[in-house]
Chain A
Amino acid sequence: MNEKVGIVAQAQTKYEPLKEGVDLSEMIFDVVKQVREQTGLKFTLDGTGIDSTVTCSQDLWDGRTISGMFASDVAGAHLRPEEKVAGNGVSAAAYGCMQILSGHYDVVLMVAWCRESITNGRLVEWMSMEPFVHRMLGMDFCAAAALQARRYMDKYSVTPEDCARVVVRAHSNARNNPYAQSPRKLSVEDVLKSKELASPIRELDAKPTSDGACAIILAREDKAKKITSNPIWIKGFGSCYDAHMPGDRDLAKCDALVSAARQAYKEAGIKDPAKEISLAEISASYAYQELMYTEGLGLCGEGEAKELLAKGVTDMGGRLPVNPSGGSLVGNPVTVDGAVRVAEAFLQLSNQAGARQVPGARVAVAHGVDGACGQLHNVMVLGI
């Protein structure tokens, strides 16, 4: 990228299985108010404050169509512009970045929200499938992921114990994250003893139901430097879709992620991601995905993530920590998931990550995903 776009602020709610007594607008207002206060920016139309809003939500999860519309006031879009991304937050942050790179706006608010607790998420997933085969069969993302998990685990000799170690590590890291949803002290045995959902996936292998919101503010280089002394720069972005129907792909692989990562690294000038990246924040709804996506991001070779995990390379204190925040396996709502990955990368690189800080972090990769078995992958490289 020739021009630079910086992230200057982030805010997150605490993630909870059920945010009782708070309506969706209050949840959004909470994080938007925080990033406004951190930056001192107001919603303006004269180029002196926040110029536009990008929201990130999905209609069926919110239970209303064009679900950005009900929240225009709390998202800072009363008598102002707002564009909605019905995808993951990495994609929404990239869209905000492009609004700035286009020259149309200088400062953009991105806010993502979801209350998974209000509906049956498996039915929302089912509704996203094509109607003639997979919807007739009653397929949701958990069952589809289970088909992929078995292919991946068979091909690379990944055991249920390897996947359980991912969960144990996620909860262990999350104990350092004040936003994290009920991190637990778990053993590999606890995970392996948890109820089977769809073999080989067990309850603790799967992301729990979660409510929450996340906001970030992006700004053009000159303005970013005025807003904060340590803006974090978006260095590269990549996006790639795979086939909709899982049976059209080799499910043991995540070719779309490999391609998205390649685009992002090329733009960021990264030649050897395993050496140059300080930490990764990866979206994974199921434990096997965190291993698979570590490989897809080029942080190690195919089938090698379990060894990195076993050797502690991807732990806190290791050479390349994966999900210092704990990641989505501890609980981040869909559509907010990707935004959290970007927000956490910002906190790490600006040395504001508290007990989960990776010392000396210089380059981070934030990953977002949508669809059954990871149909769409988004990759963002951020740096100081």
Chain B
Amino acid sequence: MSQETKPKAPLSIEGAIILPYRYAAGGVMSRFLIALRDSKKTLGIRCSRCNMVYVPPRETCLHCFGRMDEWVELEGSGTVESYTVVRYSLPVHPMAAPFAFALIKLDGADTSLTHLLGEIDLEKIKVGMKVEPVYSESRKASILDISYFRPAN
């Protein structure tokens, strides 16, 4: 018997982690998503102690650890704070590459929302440009009920 442990062509086997999950949205995220679905409205939540409006909304304030319960209805339009044109593809991308992600400071919010840009020349995106949401026809209470943001006239 040969004492050699390393064969000429070592093997590998295919594998995958396939597990179903149901992530609970909680009251605040649910209300935000339902407002997108049912009334095409973007809701923020305000911390009255810090005078900060968060979008997407969450239960607690990052800065004071307090609970937030003051809802704010936003116009939905905003300003591009940063953007990137993505040139690689992942099976989880909602758009085919090349496409653009942007950080959008919605009017009336103090945080930025990450989203997609559409109806836009990818070479002509600029930081500081005004954008507005384009809603999906078939809305499912998802952040993708906003299909993307496009340049505001």
B82 contact set on A, CB distance < 8 A = 147-148, 150-151, 154, 251
Kindly name the residue among B15, B92, B127 whose own CB sees the greatest number of chain A CB atoms within 10 A: B92
B33 contact set on A, CB distance < 8 A = 132
Given A131-B23, A132-B25, A251-B103, decide whether A150 and B62 contact each other with a Cβ distance below 8 A: no
Kindly name the residue among B10, B29, B114, B144 whose own CB sees the greatest number of chain A CB atoms within 10 A: B114
Partner among A136, A151, A200, A251 whose Cβ is within 8 Å of the Cβ of B94: A136
Asked if B116 is at the interface of the complex by the 8 Å CB criterion, the answer is yes
Partner among A139, A142, A196, A200 whose Cβ is within 8 Å of the Cβ of B114: A139
Q: Which B residue's beta carbon lies closest to that of A126?
A: B92
Asked if B85 is at the interface of the complex by the 8 Å CB criterion, the answer is yes
Once the chains are docked, how many angstroms separate the CA of A375 from the CA of B10? 39
**Which of under 10, 10 to 19, 20 to 34, or 35 or more describes the interface residues of B?**
35 or more
Once the chains are docked, how many angstroms separate the CA of A243 from the CA of B62? 7
Asked if B124 is at the interface of the complex by the 8 Å CB criterion, the answer is no
Identify which of residues 91-147 in chain B touch chain A, using a CB-to-CB cut-off of 8 Å: 91-94, 101-103, 111-116, 127, 142-144
Asked if A79 is at the interface of the complex by the 8 Å CB criterion, the answer is no
Asked if A3 is at the interface of the complex by the 8 Å CB criterion, the answer is no
Given A136-B144, A245-B111, A247-B111, decide whether A143 and B6 contact each other with a Cβ distance below 8 A: no
Are A245 and B103 in contact, with the CB atoms below 8 A? no
**Which of under 10, 10 to 19, 20 to 34, or 35 or more describes the interface residues of A?**
35 or more
Are B10 and A20 in contact, with the CB atoms below 8 A? yes
A74 contact set on B, CB distance < 8 A = none
Q: Which B residue's beta carbon lies closest to that of A21?
A: B10
Are A138 and B90 in contact, with the CB atoms below 8 A? yes
Are B62 and A137 in contact, with the CB atoms below 8 A? no
Given A21-B6, A150-B82, decide whether A134 and B142 contact each other with a Cβ distance below 8 A: no
Are B143 and A138 in contact, with the CB atoms below 8 A? no
Are A199 and B94 in contact, with the CB atoms below 8 A? no
Expressed in whole angstroms, the minimum distance between the Cβ of A209 and any Cβ of chain B is 13
Q: Which 6 pairs of residues, A with B, have the shortest CB-CB distance?
A: A146-B84, A247-B112, A138-B93, A21-B10, A138-B92, A199-B85
Question: Which residues of B approach A to under 8 Å, CB–CB?
Answer: 6, 10, 15, 17, 21, 23, 25, 29, 33, 54, 56, 62, 81-88, 90-94, 101-103, 111-116, 127, 142-144
Question: Which residues of A approach B to under 8 Å, CB–CB?
Answer: 20-21, 60, 63, 120, 122-123, 126, 131-140, 142-143, 146-151, 154, 195-201, 243, 245-248, 251
